[in-house]
Each structure stands twice: as C-alpha cells, then as structure tokens.
Amino acid sequence: MDIINIPILKIENFLIASIQVALHDLQAVQFKDAVLQRIYESKAKGVIIDLTATDVLDSFVGRLISDIAAMARLMGTTVVITGLQPAVAITLVELGLELPGIETALNLEKGIAKLRKITESNADGSA
C-alpha cells in the first residue's frame, strides 16, 4: 500500500489539512501522526480538517478524526471539520459516531473565521 502524504499547510496560527482521497487504515494513522507532529512543531492554535473532497468515510477514519481532535485539545489546539458532504454526515450519524469537542463549518472560509473567533476569545480569557 502506498504512503499518501496529505499536505498540512500553515496559515496564520492554523494548520489546514485537506483530505483528497479515501484513506485506508494505515494511511489514516500516518495522517494522525503527521497532524499531531505538525501541531507540536508549529504550536498551532487551530487545525482545520477539510473533508470537502471526501464522499466516503468509514468508522475507523471517523473515530480517528475524533481521536485527532481529542489529542489536539490536550495539546491546546482546537479542531474544526469543514466541508462535510451530506452522505458523510449521514454515515457518521448512522455509525453512532459523535464528534465531541469538534467544531464544524460549512467550508474552509467559514472554518478559518470560526477558528479566529475561538482563538481570540480564548486569548481574552472569556472561553
């Protein structure tokens, strides 16, 4: 199985990872490790996982995204999921996967705006 390198871009104090292909289990674990390492190295305040191009999400990858958010939260970083297609949202609900502590936004632009608002309120001590 090929290793797929998902680019993780840094914009402002945020990391953006756009998943463009269906991830197999090993690739998903490598993605998780890469995101956590980049959070540590960059000291990012927020991470956006963009799923706009993802039309299928299995239970393992869904749980892994939830795990990424929990681990990122422990590192002081907020995770926002953007671009959930209706079929993916339906699948997550049907699988009983809740994504506690994960913010969502319709698209990347709204995700960045949400992260700005969250990190600004956290910096003010109001959250």
Residue-wise pLDDT for 21-60, tens only, equals: 888 899 999 999 999 999 999 999 999 999 999 988 888 9
For residue 78, pLDDT over 90 is answered with yes
Q: How many CB atoms are located within 10 Å of the residue 44 CB?
A: 25
Beta-carbon count within 10 A of 76 CB = 11
**Coil, strand, or helix at residue 79?**
strand
**pLDDT score at 95:** 86
pTM for the predicted model, two decimal places = 0.90
CATH T-level fold of 8-124: Transcription Regulator spoIIAA (3.30.750)
pLDDT band of residue 121 (cuts 50, 70, 90) is confident
Full strand arrangement of the beta sheet holding 46-50: 8-11, 14-18, 46-50, 78-82, 103-105
- Give the residue extent of every domain in the chain: 8-124
* Percent residues over pLDDT 90 in the chain: 65
Q: What mean pLDDT do residues 99-117 have?
A: 93
